[in-house]
Amino acid sequence: MLIDTHCHLDAPEFAADRAAVAERARAAGVGAIVNPSIAARTFADTVAVREAFGCLPAFGMHPMYLAEHRDEHLDLLRETLVRQQAVAVGEIGLDFFVPGLDAERQIALLDAQLRIARELDLPVLLHVRRAVDAVLKCLRRQRVRGGIAHAFNGSAQQAQAFIDLGFKLGFGGAMTYPRALNLRRLAADLPLESIVLETDAPDMPPEWLNRGRNEPAELPRIARLLADLRGLPFEEVVAATTANALSVLNIHQSENLGGTSEAPSLSLPPLLRR
């Protein structure tokens, strides 16, 4: 099975056909979807897609929605992470690309959420846009158990810095564009045990969708491209990236994880429900 380590199945773009999207993912061999929240207002939506489709929940406050985050939401975040048995704190991070987002306030919010992750011993799902070094600085200041650098797009040296801190690197649709030469080099050259797969659906569509809506059923084709870049059998890439995701996320053998997992010592029933 494949694990989509970052998909917003609760997004409004899926309102009309959410169940069909989940069914297409299941039919394509995607056995698990990690659904991160973006703000306190979406915590309930994250819970809803877990209850309806078996998605694995993560809860956090995304830097792009800085204007709506409040200090009291941090208490709600901590409570929700515990009550809902989250697999990670996320989506959290820094975005120095979008204009008008106060950098100092973003850093303070990230530090606060990293402290919660450290307190609860949870991994984190990181949004990192034009802010790799700043995020690494926060991680060195607030040490957590690791996590995933979502949609990684840094240098080989920055990739190694994340790996040294216990992180996996998320690769998805951006890697599929022929002009994404740096990403393709990283995908080919980084240790396979440091890579996980993601779609970020409905965003970050792969090249073949021609900027259309992305969805988790695209993950097998993304995995096949990674296999081609590395010159490896598709099945080996599926097994490795699934094992990587299981190792870094707060997933236990009791979770409803999918199918016949290639990860050793795990024998779990299907996750994505019909």
Distance of CA 92 to the CA centre of its chain: 10
The annotation status of 73 as a binding-site residue, yes or no, is: no
Q: Which helix (H) or strand (E) holds 24?
A: helix 18-28
127 is in an annotated binding site: yes
Bridge partners of residue 149, in order along the sequence: 126, 169
For residue 60, give the 3-state DSSP assignment: coil
- Distance, CA of 259 to CA of 221 (rounded, Å): 19
- Bond into 255 cis (ω within 30): no
Question: Is 6 assigned a ligand-binding role in the annotation?
Answer: yes
- Annotated binding residue 150: yes
Q: Name beta bridge partners: 273.
A: none
Half-sphere exposure of 215 (CA within 13 A, CB side): 19
Dihedral over alpha carbons 206, 183, 223, 37 (to 10 degrees): -70
- Report the greatest alpha carbon distance in the chain: 49
Residue carrying structure tokens 């050793």 = 264
Binding site for a divalent metal cation: which residues? 6, 8, 91, 127, 150, 200
Binding site: which residues? 6, 8, 91, 127, 150, 200
